[in-house]
Amino acid sequence: MCIKINVKKFLKRIFPYLYHKSKPEPQPEPTPPAVPEPIIEKPKPPWLGCSIYELVQRYKGEMIDFLRKLKKAGGNATEIFLIHSHNHNWFQPYQWDGVKFDLERWNEAFWNNFRYFIISCKDLGIVPFIRIHDQCSVKNPERAKFYCYLNNIQGFTNIYDEGLRPYYSKLNGRLIQELNIAGIETFFIVPMNEIDGSPQDVYDFHKWYVKDLAGK
């Protein structure tokens, strides 16, 4: 008597584990491709732009609107007057007490706007030019006290008086601190503008000022 045996079925019954097919492990969902961050090119010369002037003392919406339009027009630089007037004390780094500026107290409202300004410049790839003074005159004290926060309001009658240097140094330190915190790599600080003084006064001040600024 001849019996046919299905060898495959026979072995499958005796050694089922040999024929057990494990289920494939579930594969993780494919990771969606990362959305690249927008690349803000580092600004480089030639520097093209225009001054923002008093916009820093106004509303942040106006400030960012100005900077966006400047960028759209192809600009890569803007100038801010750090000291321009004491109108409502919006545009000064020091506190105004109604008679004079208190050189021992910062005007934090100003610094908040200044910080927003430089961070916006960085985000848009715009270089800030920071001018320290505008229209300062030791020959016209009445005009000077409205435009020079250090002149004729703290008992000084000469903008180049060496007694003022600690205040300039303090201001330099705050400027560099804010620029570093914001991650600004390229900026320009322009000391003094449109003021009276002898060539030697200007030379001596600038020599000291640049040295002080470089040490911050």
pLDDT in tens, 159-188: 677 888 888 899 899 999 999 999 998 999
Domain annotation covers residue 30: no
Listed residue (200, 196, 207, 203) closest to 158, CA to CA: 196
Q: How many helices (H) and strands (E) does the chain have?
A: 7, 6
The CATH code of the domain that includes 197 is 3.20.20.80
Residue 84 lies in a domain: yes
Could you give the CA distance from residue 127 to residue 50 in angstroms, rounded to a whole number? 11
| CB-based burial label for 68 (10 Å; 0-12, 13-18, 19+) | middle
**Does the residue 132 lie in any domain?**
yes
The number of folded domains in the chain is 1
For residue 157, name the pLDDT band (cuts at 50, 70, 90).
low
In this prediction, residue 113 carries a pLDDT of 87
Range of the domain at 72: 44-214
Has residue 128 been placed in a domain? yes
Confidence at residue 186, expressed as pLDDT on a 0 to 100 scale: 92
Q: Is the peptide bond before 46 cis (omega within 30 degrees of 0)?
A: yes
Instruction: Evaluate if pTM is beyond 0.75.
Output: no
Does residue 11 form part of some domain?
Answer: no
Three-state DSSP at 87 gives helix
In a domain, 27, yes or no: no
Tell me what pLDDT residue 81 has: 77
Asked whether residue 141 is domain-assigned, the answer is: yes
